[in-house]
Chains A and B, each alone.
Chain A
Amino acid sequence: MSLQGWYPLVLARDIAPGTSAGTRVEGKEIVAWRDDKGAAHVWEDRCPHRGMKMSFGFVRGDHIACLYHGWQYDTAGQCRYIPAHPDLDVPKTIKVPTFGVAEAGGMVWGNFDAEGEDAAPHPDLPGDITPLRTVFADCPAALLVERVPFTPLDGIAPEVKATEGRIIEIRLGDVTLIAGIQPVAEREAALHIVAAGNPSNDQMKRLAFWAEQLRRDAEEAAANEKIGEIAA
């Protein structure tokens, strides 16, 4: 499947400076990492040397190093240092493919269009948010979104408003949630959820329980759908 536009990949909170996270978009393996100065990077999750996932490696300063043989890459994806050949001037051809990256609404976004980061503006989302959590579920992204209104909190059904792109707005009592939709694979999805404003920690914990219940509901619905398909 060809990827178009901006995809939410991870809550900004969940990649601290000097850390990385592996993920997938429609099955394509991606690493999101943050250098020690705080800038986020979105790359193909593969060391060109032996194909090891870069997300298994570690960040040192503004380089990310492969776990396997320690090859180090700078923020442009260019290999800069090969420990087994410390004096080597590393050829320019040893490079990890990099993608467009933006931070908005408490999420890190990636853009995989061939034209790169100029292809589309990054989503215009509020900055005054509190990160809740990402829900990872074994179901298609459309089904996960479809189940949101059917997962009540304290007996009250959420109201869902589709906004634009891969974003939904969820009214849950007196709290508004904003969720970025990530199609991880055909039957795997992630919903990166933040709350507008600054709810209390107790409210955030109640919302976290709600998000756990959403995962259970969506996976149960997906399992039932699969049984239906087999029966048909």
Chain B
Amino acid sequence: MSALTLYNYDLDENCYKVRLLLSCLGVEADQVAVDVMPGKENLSPAILAMSPFGALPVVRHDDLVLYEAEAILAWLAETRDPKGGFLPKDPDAFGRVMMWLAFSARELDAAVQARSTAMMDAPGDIDALRMAAREALRAMDDHMTRQHFDGFEYFAGAEPTIADIALFPSFALSRDYNVDHDAFPALRRWARAVRKIDGFITMPGIPEYH
């Protein structure tokens, strides 16, 4: 199989989603560092030709170019996860994974925006974004509270999937946008379960516990 190229910015949680899954799958990729802050290299013609708004991550494999982290996660799971656990074939489990991927890209995007407003001076109403992010985290905590009664430690069931990979960064980084972990006990427990996935890695802002 020919090499993968990941256009990556280390401080971007969407790039971290892809790095995390690659690590869990034990897949190597050539990483091209894109200097987003302060270099704005993501708005260079070369990147815009692959990702029309300059959003990272971007993955290139031969003629295939993909942007949108959730799509990249699904494609990686489909092509590079021989056990198939990260994107289950069972229709109901598949549906649940897709639902949480969409949630990650839609409802939880408020958290991504809140963080870039708080940390990278991106424009935005930080209070409104923080409240929207908290509502998304509440819905996640409610779901995991009920999952735990069924003995499930992950979003779509007993085993980790790309849904967990997609949802993890915004919770783990919530203190960056001033939302504490205090009110999310089920997510604290789930985050410990995510940390136990083989190949788990951190990103800046997510401490290693040593």
**Roughly how many angstroms separate A58 CA and B207 CA in the complex, as a whole number?**
10
Give CA–CA (A56, B182) in the complex, Å. Answer: 10
Which residues from chain A sit less than 8 Å from chain B, CB to CB?
10-11, 14, 16, 19, 21-24, 55-56, 58, 67, 133-134, 136, 190, 201, 204-205, 208-209, 212
Query: Which of A19, A22, A204 contacts B149 (CB under 8 A)?
Result: A204
Q: A10-B185, A11-B185, A134-B185 are in contact. Are A67 and B145 (CB under 8 A)?
A: no
Please list 16 pairs of residues, one from A and one from B, whose beta carbons are closer than 8 Å in the complex, sorted by A's number. Answer: A10-B185, A11-B185, A14-B185, A14-B189, A16-B189, A19-B188, A21-B188, A22-B180, A22-B182, A58-B209, A190-B183, A201-B150, A201-B151, A204-B149, A209-B146, A212-B142
B137 to chain A, nearest CB (A): 11
Dominant SS among interface residues on chain B: helix
Return chain B residues, CB-CB under 8 Å to A67.
Answer: 207
On chain B, the residues within 8 Å of A11 by CB distance are 185
Q: Which 6 A-B pairs have the closest CB atoms?
A: A14-B185, A136-B183, A58-B209, A201-B149, A204-B149, A22-B182
Cβ of B192 within 8 Å of any chain A Cβ, yes or no, is yes
- Contact status A205-B146, CB under 8 Å: yes
Given A14-B188, A22-B180, 5 other A-B residues pairs in contact with their CB atoms under 8 A: A10-B185, A205-B146, A205-B149, A209-B146, A212-B142
Q: For A14, list chain B residues within 8 Å (CB).
A: 185, 188-189
Q: Is the CB of A23 within 8 A of B182?
A: yes
Binding site for A on B (CB under 8 A): 142, 145-146, 149-151, 175, 180-183, 185-186, 188-189, 192, 207, 209
Least Cβ–Cβ distance between B188 and chain A, in angstroms: 7
CB distance from A211 to the nearest CB of B (A): 9
Report Cα–Cα, A22/B180, bound state, in Å.
8
- Closest Cβ of chain A to B156, distance in Å, is 16
